[in-house]
Amino acid sequence: MKEYPSINNPPNFDDYFYGFVKYDGQHIRVTISRKNGCIKFGSKKILIDESTPILGESINLIKNKYEKDLQCILKDLREQEADFYFEFFGPNSQFGQHINEQHDVILFDCYVPKQGIIEPKIFIKKFGHLHIPELIHQGKVNKEIIEKIKKKEIENVGNEGIVFKGQQDRKTQIPYMFKIKTYEWLEKLKQYCNGDQIKFKELE
């Protein structure tokens, strides 16, 4: 099961990008087979099952909400299996912490063997009829747009911010990605970390 790459690139002002709402939760990776459905689940670092505290809840959520549709898409793509990436979150989830409340999952990316992580344009075309992050921006990015995102002056910007995804690097098979966080979210993170700079950088 392919790990999702860290998004730590600097902003790129030269290329064409798709900006999606970033949800504040924990990402779940799932291997889905065209024939057998969901066959393997994992968090960012470990495999999980239904007995896993908190994150185990994501398994039935993903199966009920996405499994059949993603099997159909695999058939359409003529692929036997692929890895899919979801965010697991609730209304009060923050910095990877969750409370006892109703949670949800949202599909945000897909890795196809021999093709890599698919480009955002294709992701929207193939998966846009499902529940995916809202597209906030499409086109080039500049400093003015970034500042508006940080200040939440663009409509429907999430509490955490925006992830920008561009064209796939044919060598790494990963689209160029960078993220812009809101000032509000960063201030809350600063308070949460209470002076722990290592923790702040890890969660930022």
C-alpha distances in Å from residue 127, one per residue of 48, 144, 165, 166, 168: 25, 30, 15, 17, 17
Confidence of residue 196 (pLDDT cuts 50, 70, 90): confident
What are 70-83's pLDDT values in tens digits? 999 999 999 999 99
The pLDDT assigned to 138 comes to: 96
Residue type, 93: S
Distance CA 49, CA 156 (A): 33
Residue type, 85: Y
Cβ-based neighbour number of residue 16 at 10 Å: 13
Distance CA 90, CA 115 (A): 32
Rounded percentage of the chain residues whose pLDDT exceeds 90: 83
DSSP element (H, E) containing 198:
helix 197-203
The CATH homologous superfamily for domain 17-203 is DNA ligase/mRNA capping enzyme (3.30.470.30)
Residue with token string 């697991």? 88
pTM of the model: 0.94
Instruction: Sketch the domain layout of the chain as residue ranges.
Output: 17-203
